[in-house]
Amino acid sequence: MDLYEHQARELFAEHGIVVPRAEVTGSSREARDIARRLGGRVVVKAQVKTGGRGKAGGVRLAADPAAAELTARQILGMDIKGHTVGTVMLAQPVDIAEEFYVSYVLDRTAGRFLAIASAEGGMDIEEVAATRPEAVARVPVDPAEGVTPATAARIAEAAGLPARTVDVLVRLWQVLVREDALLVEVNPLVRTRDGRIMALDGKVTLDDNARFRQERWGDQDDTHTDPLEAAAAAKGLNYVKLDGEVGIIGNGAGLVMSTLDVVAGCGARPANFLDIGGGASAQVMADGLSVILSDPSVRSVFVNVFGGITACDAVADGIVRALDTVRLTKPLVVRLDGNNAARGRAVLDAHAHPLVEQVTTMDGAAGRAARLAITP
C-alpha cells in the first residue's frame, strides 16, 4: 500500500528527518486559515498517490491566505493521472539551494535493497536517469546489515551529496525498517539557502504482508479503483479486470494464465483473470460467477478446471449449487478434466441447464467460448 505524501512526511518527522511545517485539508475555506497559521505564504500540494504532481499543476505557491484559498479550490477536484484530488497539503515554503534525490527500494532479483541517489533531484529525475545514468548512484544495501553511517557515507559520496545528508540517509533507512516499507523515496531532499537539509516530498510503499502490525494507516485500500475489482476483493476473490468479453474462471494461477492465452489465441479477449484456487466451493463459484456476470462487457463465460485434490465432481456440484443463487444470463462453457472428470461431467449433464454446455478439451472449450463472445 502506498501512503500519501502527508503520511510519509509524518513518518519522516517521527524518525527525526526535518520536514516543513504543514497541514492537510479537504476544504478551500480551511486552507485560508491554515495559510494564516503557517505565516501567509504557502505551497499548496495535491495529495494523490501518484508522482508528477508538480508538472501537472498540483503543486503551487500561494502568496497569501486569500491566494491559498483560491489555489486550493483550483487544485481540489483536479484529476492527476486518473486520481481525483480530495485533499491538499499546505506547507511552509522553503528557499531551495539544491535538490537531491534519495530512495531505498527492494531489489527482488538481487535479494537486497538498493540505495538510489542523485545530486540532481527534482522534477526531472526521470530524464536525468534516462539521459545521464552516471548522475544517479546505485549502491546495494545488505538487508541484514542495513544502512550504517559508513554505508550512508558511501551512498552520499557515490552520488555527490553533501556530507550533511548522511544523517538523513541513516534515518530514512530506519523509516524503511521500522515502518515495514518496501520503498521510501525523497524527491526532492533539499539543501535550503540557510543550510538545512529537509525532505520536501515523500513516497512510502508499505509491505502489505506487514499490514497487521501497521494498523494506524487503516484500510485506505485504493488499489482497487475498478468497481468490479473492489467487489471481488470484498469477497476475497483473486480477480483482475481485463478489457475483453470472455469471462474466465479457473483453478490455479498457472492454468488461468494459460486459459487467458488460449482464449486470446482463439480471437477473443479475456474479460478477467479469476483463480478460484484449490477449494472451489459452491460459495466461491457463486461469488466468482456473480462478479463476472455483473461485468457488462462479458458475453460468455469459460470455466476451466483441472481436478486435483478438489475433484471435478465437487467442482460440478459447486457450479450446480451456485446456479441456485446466481441467475445465469450469459452462456457458460465448462471444461472439466483431471480427477473424477467423468463424474463431474455427468453431474452437469444431469442438471441440464440451457445456458451451460461442456467441451472436454481446453482448446475446444476456449474456441467455443470465444465464438459465443464474438458472434453478433
Within 13 A of 167's CA, how many CA atoms are on the CB side? 9
At a CB cut-off of 8 Å and minimum separation 6, what does 324 contact? none
Residue 361 grid cell: 478439451
Catalytic residue (one of 4, 185, 239, 245): 185
Q: Which residues make Cβ contacts (< 8 Å) with residue 240, sequence separation at least 6?
A: 229, 272, 273, 274
- For residue 174, what is the enclosing H or E element? helix 166-178
DSSP letter for 124, please. Answer: T
Is position 40 an interface residue for ligand GDP (rule: CB under 6 A)?
Answer: no
Contact with ligand GDP (CB under 6 A) among 11, 20, 246, 274 = 20
Question: Least CB distance from residue 51 to Mn ion, whole Å?
Answer: 6
- Residue 96 contact partner, candidates ligand GDP, Mn ion, none, CB within 5 to 8 A by sort of partner: ligand GDP
CB of 162 to ligand GDP, least distance (A): 18
- Considering only 1, 19, 43, 314, the residue that binds ligand GDP (CB under 6 A) is 43
Report how far apart, in Å, the C-alpha atoms of 24 and of each of 6, 71, 153, 217, 334 are. Answer: 7, 14, 34, 16, 53
- Please, which residue, 188 or 307, has the CB nearer to ligand GDP? 188
Task: Give whichever of 96 and 135 is closer to ligand GDP, judged by the CB atom.
Answer: 96
Q: Given the rule CB under 6 A, which of 67-75, 87-95, 241-249, 290-298 is the region that contacts ligand GDP?
A: 87-95
71 forms part of the interface with ligand GDP (CB under 6 A): no
Region near ligand GDP per CB under 6 A, out of 52-60, 154-162, 311-319, 322-330: 52-60
Spatial separation of the C-alpha atoms in residues 44 and 35, rounded to whole Å: 9
Is residue 69 a contact partner of residue 139, using CB atoms and an 8 Å limit?
A: no
- Is the CA virtual torsion 219, 222, 224, 225 positive or negative? positive
DSSP 298-344: --EEEEEEEESSS-HHHHHHHHHHHHHHS---S-EEEEEEETTHHHH
> Judged by CB, which is closer to ligand GDP: 52, or 265?
52
Instruction: Return all residues near 232 (Cβ < 8 A) that are at least 6 apart.
Output: 224, 239, 274, 287, 291
Q: Which of 4, 23, 69, 101 is catalytic?
A: 101
Annotate each residue in 178-217 with x if it binds ligand GDP (CB under 6 A) or - if it does not, as one string. Answer: ---------xx-----------xx----------------
The number of residues making up the chain comes to 376
Q: Report the C-alpha gap between 9 and 327 in whole angstroms.
A: 49
Is 47 a binding residue for Mn ion by CB under 5 A? The answer is no
Q: How far is the CB of 197 from Mn ion (least distance, A)?
A: 16
168 vs 282 by CB, closer to ligand GDP: 168
Rounded to a whole number of angstroms, the minimum distance from the CB of residue 14 to Mn ion is 20
Look up 101 and say whether it is catalytic.
Answer: yes
Number of chain positions touching ligand GDP (CB under 6 A): 19
Q: According to the binding rule CB under 6 A, does residue 35 interact with ligand GDP?
A: no
4 is catalytic: no
Supply the Cα-derived Rg of the chain in whole angstroms: 27
Q: Per CB under 5 A, does 205 bind Mn ion? A: no
| Residue 241 · residue 228 · CB < 8 Å | yes
Which of 120, 179, 201, 287 is the binder for Mn ion (CB under 5 A)? 201
- Nearest-angstrom CA–CA distance, 150 and 163: 11
Of the candidates 13, 64, 93, 242, which one interacts with ligand GDP according to CB under 6 A?
93
Residue ranges at the known binding site: 45, 52-54, 94, 99, 187, 201, 251, 308-310
Could you tell me which stretch among 68-76, 88-96, 235-243, 345-353 binds ligand GDP (CB under 6 A)? 88-96
Q: Which does 20 bind (CB under 5 to 8 A by kind): ligand GDP, Mn ion, none?
A: ligand GDP
DSSP 270: B
Closest residue to Mn ion: CB criterion: 201
C-alpha cell at 197: 537539509
Between residue 273 and residue 332, which ones bind ligand GDP under the rule CB under 6 A? none
SS3 content of the chain, % helix, strand, coil (to 5): 40, 25, 35
Locate 230 and state its grid cell.
473492489
Residues designated as active site? 101, 185
Residues in contact with ligand GDP by the rule CB under 6 A: 20, 43, 45, 51-54, 59, 91, 93-94, 96, 99, 122-123, 187-188, 200-201
